[in-house]
Structure 1
Amino acid sequence: MKSYELRRAFLDFFRAEGHVELPSSSLVPNDPTLLFTSAGMVQFKDIFWGKLPPRYPRVTTCQKCFRTTDLERVGLTPYHHTFFEMLGNFSFGDYFKEGAIKLAWKFLTGELSLPKERLWVSVYEEDEEAYAIWRDLIGIPPERIVRLGKDQNWWGPVGNSGPCGPDTEIYWDWGDPPCGPDCKPSCDCGRFSEIWNLVFMQYDAQPDGTLRELARKNIDTGMGLERMTAVLQGVRSNFETDLFLPILDALRSLSPSPITHHPSLNVVADHIRAVVFLVADGVLPDSEESRGSVLRKVFMRMFRHADRLGISGEKLVQLVDPVVETLGSVYPEIVERRALVERVIESEAEVFRRRKEALDRLMARLPEGTTIIPGEVAFTWYDTHGIPRDFIEAEAQEHGLSVDWEGFEREMEKQRARSRIVVSYDAGGLTSEQAAVMRDTRFLGYTELSLEAPLEVILGSEGKAQDRVKAGEEVHFIFPKTPFYAEAGGQIADTGFVENLDREGKAEVLDVQKSPQGTLHKVQVVSGEFQAGDRCLLQVDEERRRKIQRAHTATHLLHATLRKVLGEHVIQAGSWVGPEELRFDFTHFSALTPAEIAEVEKLAFSVVLRDIPLHVEELPLEEAKKKGAIAHFEEEYRGKEKVRVVEVPGFSMELCGGTHVSRTG
């Protein structure tokens, strides 16, 4: 059976059994706690956690997944992968253990016609119910039912609390002679392949370790498409299936000399699939601690193994064809973004070449006979020359060297100590009434640049509340409402003045920051005095604010323009918005050409000249996303009843809490 036939047979079987077939979600999950989609259940996590009601009681999917937990083993074993497909069926409060087991057995022995005597199962050692179902209802002999502990047949919880439960796993017996008297699926002898895992989400784990029965029990199953395909095609290695053979054939054709077997072949074949799908889903390589850094690590490992095969990195662009031909009909996004993928591969091949050449030159300067690279030397390469730690380690291994990583960490800690700035505020001395008020300072600065408000709290230099402050002192004021914008989202804070309306007193506002106690206005008292409770006039520096508003709207125009000129893979990675200049960081795989810069400038200025009125409204997050609002820092908005949408009609729409002009002109 071909892999595409297995995929279709699985989904059709479960549709016939009353399941709704849903599409695969992106490899980039809509979940700030996860970097990547690593299992079929990820898109249903909020349902399993009880945060959302299920739309359907039964669901089936073929989910594209990405993991790097076993990165160093990928390509070196028959079945470890970074990118893989997970076939799954899910029940949300519908069938449970008996239903899940019966459906799995029916599919394997009925639809796929696998010999029953070649199938083994494992159950959690205390799960008598699952054991009895396999033995009494399915009819598997007790000698082919293995009881295993929590380390192998238990799922969850994620963290120290939440949904969890026992699972049962189904194994294929390749028919090898037993490795010993206790040869069974828990062995590593290679006789057995795990092909399906059925998770019974039965309990809600409490922080104290106790388990409570869930009111609504759920089923989460996962069958690795690659492993099951290998079983059906009668091969021991996933790399010998029709999912990989076209890629391996193309890879061998790139080599300057014939290659029959080489572990690096499988590494490159695996990683090229991961690269294609990650880039197609909007992940671009970078050096920060993010999805992009993980992708770059995969790129560097792929190029290093291609190097061992005598194949230069830029030639790997030719492997995109067999990936698209194999999987493009199932995942059209890799067809649509094929050109982008190829450009990113070419760009990253150049990054690898430059890094390798630079590091080779540095290593050549090591004293003859060096076997261990000193930590301070490795840190200099990292800190001064910008060579990542994992790249240094991999290249050191290529040269038969080790690295003093303890010494490296000591140098890293010295640098952290030099740059560490700790600012903390202690709310000690405040009454409970004051603390409650301070947790939420109302920002009215979208429409007002001047307003009156009582001075609720004065915080001294050590963060202690005090009754009064005199000229020459620098403190923090807290008000119940303010027109001053606190630094956030790349936009710097407003400045201005606070005038005392109850007695003579004036303070210059130097900075504004958010805190758990409320919005902190850092002020320098220039004359008179202030006492807690005084009525004050808060006045924003209007000229400076208007400049900042223009700059912030300009970042939105620039963002939209870059996406139109370079492609929708461009996303904001950071910004700094001030009165005199702005900085906009964005994801892209190469420097802009002069022609691209000219096109960006022309398009952005055309929107300014059209003098388009901005439209600002507040909407629920999901409604804003449905309208097309870009939300690249979505975790900042989670949990809020409504989000602020800033739109330049027909050109740009983003979630944004910053201040903007009313018209683009």
Structure 2
Amino acid sequence: MQDIDNVGKTGRHTMAFEMMAHHAFNAREEAEGYAYEGEVYWKDETVAYCDELLREMGADPEKVTYIEDPWVGGGNAGPAIEVIYEGLELATLVFMSMERDEDGDYLLKDGNRYSKMDTYVVDTGYGLERWTWMAQGTPTVYEAVYPETIEFLKQHAGVDYTDEEDRLVAEAATMAGGLDVDDVDDVEAARGEIAAELGVDVERLRDLVEPLESIYAVADHCRTLAYMLGDGIVPSNVKTGYLARMVLRRTKRLVDDVGVDVPLDELVDMQAARLGYENRDTIREMVRAEEEQYRETLERGSRRVESLASEYADRGDPLPTDRLVELYDSHGIQPETVREIAAREGASVEVPDDFYALVADRHGDDDGTDAAQTDSRAEAVADLPETDLLFYDDPAGTAFEAVVLDCFEREDGYDVVLDQTLFYPEGGGQPADTGTLRTDDDSFAVTDVQTVDGVVLHRTDENPGSGAIVRGSLDAERRRALMRAHTATHVVGHAAREVLGEHVRQAGAQKGVESSRLDVRHFRRIGRDEIEAIERVANRIVRQNLSVRQSWPDRNEAESTHGFDIYQGGIPPGERVRLITVGDDVQACAGTHVERTGDVGLITVLSTEPIQDGVERIAFAAG
């Protein structure tokens, strides 16, 4: 998203790209010696394959340049070779042979020290769009990647140039790399330099290339939207949803500005069809719903712009960039629209060339977890073995015997560590089990259960003492209610996808004894008919009395078999993944479940409400 302002202008930037690759993992003793003696797959052989590919595609060997430079990233480092053809970078060949080590012998350009690895890794990246462009020799990457779309857009925007104008545009394209907003302070000044080089008036050049720049960007953005919406991203005001919204609204403005007389959902659908998406109707629905919301936002936001512009006009000051970003973030007002409204109020607006990159920076963090907070408990349990979790093999069990390994005093009680436990620690939206620990002499209430680095901590009000043998007893009714609730959550989520569409993804969940809630990503309010349909589908699954199966496959096997949709509740750590399968619904899950869907009992949808833009909350009860 950092290059969004360059798309269409430079002739080479695209928002989405496909990185082709080949890899090798040289894991053997004395890997360095073998690598540089040519006895394992390393630099010489990698470059030879690249040469062969270039020759097969008809490239002139005299126009190929290989540039070697140190590479660092992600805690690893090594030499890298850039593959340049007639000034265009086609590929980067990375040879990871070092890892970050504060005591390492090698100080590299990032200021960190590194040492040699035992495994030498070849990691290459070939930009598919760049190779397509190189092979076809078109003025820009866009004609090579989106030829039919661009011709369609030109026809429907009334863009028709003479042969002489086409020649001038093609010549300007060879210099368009000089419009990169990351490299120049003033794009329009850079355009003036290109016009001078071509010997034409800058206004004439602008009139010719700006409509094409918009058309190029529309073609590219529509493909990006097809990828994003087709893969289940719902436009919203947070994270990846916000980026989808930003791209969609920018595309809508470009379509309107250049005068393309085709609905935006149809343009996105053209790209979705080429990419082979089966959920094209849902993609079009999302685009139309977002357009409608955008229109409503513009109507409300325009009044805010008028007020703000009048305020700054009275001061004699231009509207600052942070206000532009705020208006876009909070009200969806494009900076160009702000400039038009502000001009009517007598206020000036300078739109930064990298405006959309600035906006993207504010929302760039994806759905990754926040950095872990320092926890004194982690230090306390560092030398203890992981707790043996009995509830996976005996989910219906409520009594067990264990040995106390250690006990830590806290402000509100004690954290007791056992060698094994049936108590489920809070996690994945499922509350912790409660119950008691008993010795021959005393009984201790367990009021909370947490896990730290695989060690389960049982919160009690007294210290049973290290080495004590305890008998654990769960609150059986609470456990059974939470098992029903957790399985019901999977069932309701499956029902929501069946009714609302495959784009529906879990955004959060909380299981409870009396009622539970499931937050799903969806692009509009859930209607009464849809609520009833979700309830019907959920109870149909309950009546089918399907088996609720657990398995522990290797992570790679799980992902290759079921895809990344298994991670509805987040990505768990570890080489193996626990999968819960209910019919054809498969999810990675660490919670406790009933044996069959019939054990869940009647599911009742209590309510639905939007908790944030693009996220609907479904409250329900089970049993």
The residue that corresponds to 1:477 in the other structure is 416
Q: How much has 1:103 moved relative to structure 2?
A: 4.9
Which sections of structure 1, spanning at least 5 residues, go unmatched? 1-67, 125-149, 173-192, 413-420, 463-472
Q: Distance in 2 between matches of 1:440 and 1:451?
A: 14
549, 553, 565: which one pairs with 1:619? 553
Q: How much has 1:377 moved relative to structure 2?
A: 8.3
Q: How much has 1:658 moved relative to structure 2?
A: 0.8
Q: How much has 1:632 moved relative to structure 2?
A: 1.4
Q: Distance in 1 between matches of 2:442 and 2:121?
A: 67
The question of 1:246 aligning with 2:154 is answered no
C-alpha change, 1:624 and 1:212, in structure 2 (3 Å) is closer
Q: Which amino acid aligns with 2:11?
A: P
Q: What TM-score does the superposition give when structure 1 sets the normalisation length?
A: 0.64
Q: Distance in 2 between matches of 1:392 and 1:121?
A: 42
The residue that corresponds to 1:659 in the other structure is 592
The residue that corresponds to 2:189 in the other structure is none
Q: Distance in 2 between matches of 1:360 and 1:597?
A: 35
The question of 1:340 aligning with 2:291 is answered no
Q: How much has 1:281 moved relative to structure 2?
A: 3.3
The residue that corresponds to 1:157 in the other structure is 72
C-alpha change, 1:365 and 1:542, in structure 2 (3 Å) is farther
Query: Whose helix proportion is higher, 1 or 2?
Result: 2
The residue that corresponds to 1:364 in the other structure is 306
Q: Which amino acid aligns with 2:237?
A: S
Q: How much has 1:581 moved relative to structure 2?
A: 1.2
Q: How much has 1:213 moved relative to structure 2?
A: 8.0
**Bigger Cα displacement from structure 2, 568-577 vs 314-323:** 314-323
Percent identity between matched residues is 26
Equivalent positions of 1:641-652 (< 5 A) are: 642-648=576-582, 650-652=583-585
Q: Secondary structure at the match of 2:507?
A: strand
The question of 1:567 aligning with 2:474 is answered no
Q: Distance in 1 between matches of 2:568 and 2:400?
A: 31
> Does the aligned pair in 2 maintain the 1:303–1:352 contact within 8 Å?
no
After superposition, the C-alpha distances for 1:597-645 in whole angstroms (9 at most, x for unaligned) are 22221111112223334333433334445664852158744423x4333
Q: Which amino acid aligns with 2:148?
A: P
Q: Distance in 1 between matches of 2:254 and 2:156?
A: 13
Q: How much has 1:560 moved relative to structure 2?
A: 1.6
The residue that corresponds to 1:218 in the other structure is 122
Q: Distance in 1 between matches of 2:375 and 2:18?
A: 47
C-alpha change, 1:608 and 1:221, in structure 2 (3 Å) is closer
Q: Distance in 2 between matches of 1:423 and 1:220?
A: 37
Q: Distance in 2 between matches of 1:608 and 1:422?
A: 40
> Does the aligned pair in 2 maintain the 1:502–1:534 contact within 8 Å?
no
The residue that corresponds to 1:82 in the other structure is 15
The question of 1:272 aligning with 2:222 is answered yes
> Does the aligned pair in 2 maintain the 1:621–1:637 contact within 8 Å?
no
Q: Which amino acid aligns with 1:157?
A: V
The question of 1:71 aligning with 2:13 is answered no
Provide the aligned length of Structure 1 versus Structure 2.
498
Q: Which amino acid aligns with 1:301?
A: R
Q: How much has 1:81 moved relative to structure 2?
A: 0.5
**Bigger Cα displacement from structure 2, 352-361 vs 365-374:** 365-374
246, 268, 289: which one pairs with 1:320? 268
The residue that corresponds to 2:251 in the other structure is 302
Q: Distance in 2 between matches of 1:72 and 1:169?
A: 25
The question of 1:503 aligning with 2:407 is answered no
Q: How much has 1:85 moved relative to structure 2?
A: 4.1
Q: How much has 1:543 moved relative to structure 2?
A: 1.5
Q: How much has 1:491 moved relative to structure 2?
A: 1.0
Q: Distance in 1 between matches of 2:550 and 2:11?
A: 55
The question of 1:194 aligning with 2:88 is answered yes
The question of 1:523 aligning with 2:460 is answered yes
C-alpha change, 1:550 and 1:310, in structure 2 (3 Å) is same
Q: How much has 1:300 moved relative to structure 2?
A: 2.9
427, 437, 442: which one pairs with 2:389? 442
Q: Distance in 2 between matches of 1:610 and 1:538?
A: 35
The residue that corresponds to 1:353 in the other structure is 295
The question of 1:486 aligning with 2:425 is answered yes
The residue that corresponds to 1:551 in the other structure is 485
> Does the aligned pair in 1 maintain the 2:378–2:453 contact within 8 Å?
no
Q: How much has 1:260 moved relative to structure 2?
A: 6.0
The question of 1:540 aligning with 2:454 is answered no
Q: Which amino acid aligns with 1:451?
A: F
Q: Which amino acid aligns with 2:88?
A: E
Equivalent positions of 1:82-101 (< 5 A) are: 82-86=15-19, 96-101=42-47
Q: How much has 1:555 moved relative to structure 2?
A: 0.8
Q: Secondary structure at the match of 2:481?
A: helix
The residue that corresponds to 2:528 in the other structure is 594
The residue that corresponds to 2:604 in the other structure is none
Q: Distance in 2 between matches of 1:593 and 1:350?
A: 17
513, 518, 535: which one pairs with 2:450? 513
Equivalent positions of 1:138-149 (< 5 A) are: none
The residue that corresponds to 1:140 in the other structure is none
Q: Secondary structure at the match of 1:511?
A: strand
556, 566, 572: which one pairs with 1:631? 566
Q: Distance in 2 between matches of 1:354 and 1:572?
A: 27
Which sections of structure 2, spanning at least 5 residues, go unmatched? 27-39, 107-113, 161-206, 343-347, 364-371, 599-623
Q: What TM-score does the superposition give when structure 2 sets the normalisation length?
A: 0.68
Q: Which amino acid aligns with 1:199?
A: L
The residue that corresponds to 1:60 in the other structure is none
Q: How much has 1:275 moved relative to structure 2?
A: 1.1
The question of 1:387 aligning with 2:330 is answered yes
Q: Secondary structure at the match of 1:646?
A: strand
C-alpha change, 1:505 and 1:402, in structure 2 (3 Å) is farther
Q: Secondary structure at the match of 2:308?
A: coil
Q: How much has 1:552 moved relative to structure 2?
A: 0.9
**Bigger Cα displacement from structure 2, 477-486 vs 548-557:** 477-486
After superposition, the C-alpha distances for 1:517-571 in whole angstroms (9 at most, x for unaligned) are 822223346xxx7444444333222222222111111111112222223333322
The residue that corresponds to 2:620 in the other structure is none
Q: Distance in 2 between matches of 1:512 and 1:635?
A: 21
C-alpha change, 1:214 and 1:294, in structure 2 (3 Å) is farther
After superposition, the C-alpha distances for 1:255-302 in whole angstroms (9 at most, x for unaligned) are 59999642322221211011112333343333333x434333322332
C-alpha change, 1:439 and 1:381, in structure 2 (3 Å) is farther
Equivalent positions of 1:163-202 (< 5 A) are: 164-172=78-86, 193-197=87-91, 199=93, 201=95
> Does the aligned pair in 2 maintain the 1:572–1:632 contact within 8 Å?
no
C-alpha change, 1:240 and 1:311, in structure 2 (3 Å) is closer
Q: Distance in 2 between matches of 1:111 and 1:252?
A: 30
Q: Which has the higher contact order (CA 8 A, sep 6+)?
A: 2
C-alpha change, 1:541 and 1:394, in structure 2 (3 Å) is farther
C-alpha change, 1:453 and 1:373, in structure 2 (3 Å) is farther
Q: Which amino acid aligns with 1:442?
A: L
Q: Distance in 2 between matches of 1:522 and 1:282?
A: 40
> Does the aligned pair in 2 maintain the 1:250–1:322 contact within 8 Å?
no
C-alpha change, 1:102 and 1:657, in structure 2 (3 Å) is closer
